Structure 1
Amino acid sequence: MTLPPIRRVVTGINPQGESAFIEDGPAPAVRMVPQRPGYRVTNLWCTGAAPAPVDAADAIAGHQGVAPAKGGTVLRIIDFPPEPQDPQALEHMLQATFASMYRDARHAPRAGEHPGMHCTRTVDYALMLEGELLAIMESSQTTLRAGDVLIQRGTRHAWANRSGRPARIAFVLVDGL
């Protein structure tokens, strides 16, 4: 029940000075969490400043953590497997996820909160690509389905996949104040 890998196509200028496809293949920066089968983070591109130099070299393989560089952006796609029914198994998986993937995220769920509740200092454009995810805030929650877009503005939030099927969502993270 896993989704196919992400194909990344990158444009640029060829030696003749013409626009061209300079790369076409699997995304080079893919991270998995062994304790959470089916969970896959595919980092596709990052920028280190705004405005971003359009001819900047690909730096995504060296990107660490969740947040973009100061003044920069990160484009990533995350595949979320369905959550286990056992709350302890879910908590174990989410702790493994945050410990290995989100070292720079503030992760401090309070009593009664979803164990994946966290906050980053970014504006995130979240584009639901496939399946459905529950977007959880401190005061409410909503279900996102393919085609929906969520603008997350530095708020405490969590994601839950209770659909029984894999879900895929794209994020553009913009460094925030």
Structure 2
Amino acid sequence: MTTNGMPAIRRVVTADDAQGRSFIAEDGPSPAVRLVAERPGYRVTNLWRTTGPDAGVDAPDSISEHQGVSPPKGGTVLRIIDFPPEPGDPRELERMLHATFGAMYRDARHTPRPGEHPGMHRTDTVDYAIVLEGEVVAIMDQQETALRCGDVLIQRGTNHAWANRSGRPARVAFVLVDARTPG
């Protein structure tokens, strides 16, 4: 399945057999792909999660049960997001992002102030964002910076938004780690 010209993500999962020998246990698309009808081209592929600090390497796959943006308490989530280019109309962008947060990310603190990018939000996570394809802009309260293929941003529970102003699709891998924020 392609979305906005971006191919589906292939997920390969390994395991050990009863004799302790490794093998490919699963090879194919993730069972946890989410789309937002009001935001064509936006695709979230959740690939894996750990459910807490004591999760074993042989813990069962529970990614299909995952809801929202944040990982389980003490856990992690691996996801890849395909970002379509932002529309030129600010009201259309606001409508699309409101639909995205309303449909998928209700657990994020999505409270943009007047004049801010409508995607501003905050989570109690440390996020490793790795640009795989294209270009996105990381927006903070006071600054922004363009990230290109191979760039990595470490997002530490701060208020932020993502913008694709490039006119082409972009793909970013995210590893979210549950964390405490000060205060």
TM-score range (shorter-chain normalised) is: over 0.9
Give the counterpart letter for 1:161 in structure 2: N
Give the counterpart letter for 2:71 in structure 1: P
Count matched residues.
Answer: 177
Q: Does 1:123 align with 2:123?
A: no
Deviation at 1:2, TM superposition (A): 2.5
Instruction: Give the 5 Å matches for 1:69-80.
Output: 69-80=72-83
Q: Distance in 2 between matches of 1:166 and 1:123?
A: 25
Deviation at 1:15, TM superposition (A): 3.8
- List 4+ stretches of structure 1 deviating above 2 A: 14-17
Q: Does 1:59 align with 2:62?
A: yes
The residue number in structure 1 matching 2:157 is: 154
Q: Does 1:91 align with 2:94?
A: yes
| Cα-to-partner distance string for 1:4-37 (whole Å, 9 max, x where unaligned) | 0000000001244310110000111000000000
The residue number in structure 2 matching 1:145 is: 148
Q: Distance in 1 between matches of 2:169 and 2:86?
A: 9
Q: Which runs of no fewer than 5 residues in structure 2 stay unpaired?
A: none
Q: Distance in 2 between matches of 1:170 and 1:65?
A: 16
Aligned equivalent of 1:13, options 8, 12, 16: 16
Q: Does 1:109 align with 2:100?
A: no
Deviates more, 1:120-129 or 1:8-17: 8-17
Q: Secondary structure at the match of 2:57?
A: coil
Q: Is the 8 A contact 1:14 1:22 kept in 2?
A: no
Deviation at 1:49, TM superposition (A): 1.3
TM normalised by structure 1 equals 0.98
Q: Percent identity?
A: 70
Q: Secondary structure at the match of 1:111?
A: coil
Q: Does 1:3 align with 2:6?
A: yes
The residue number in structure 1 matching 2:30 is: 27
Q: Distance in 1 between matches of 2:6 and 2:69?
A: 22
Q: Distance in 2 between matches of 1:70 and 1:46?
A: 11
Q: Secondary structure at the match of 2:56?
A: coil
Q: Distance in 1 between matches of 2:92 and 2:85?
A: 12
Q: Which runs of no fewer than 5 residues in structure 1 stay unpaired?
A: none
Give the counterpart letter for 2:155 in structure 1: Q
Q: Distance in 2 between matches of 1:71 and 1:16?
A: 31
The residue number in structure 2 matching 1:136 is: 139
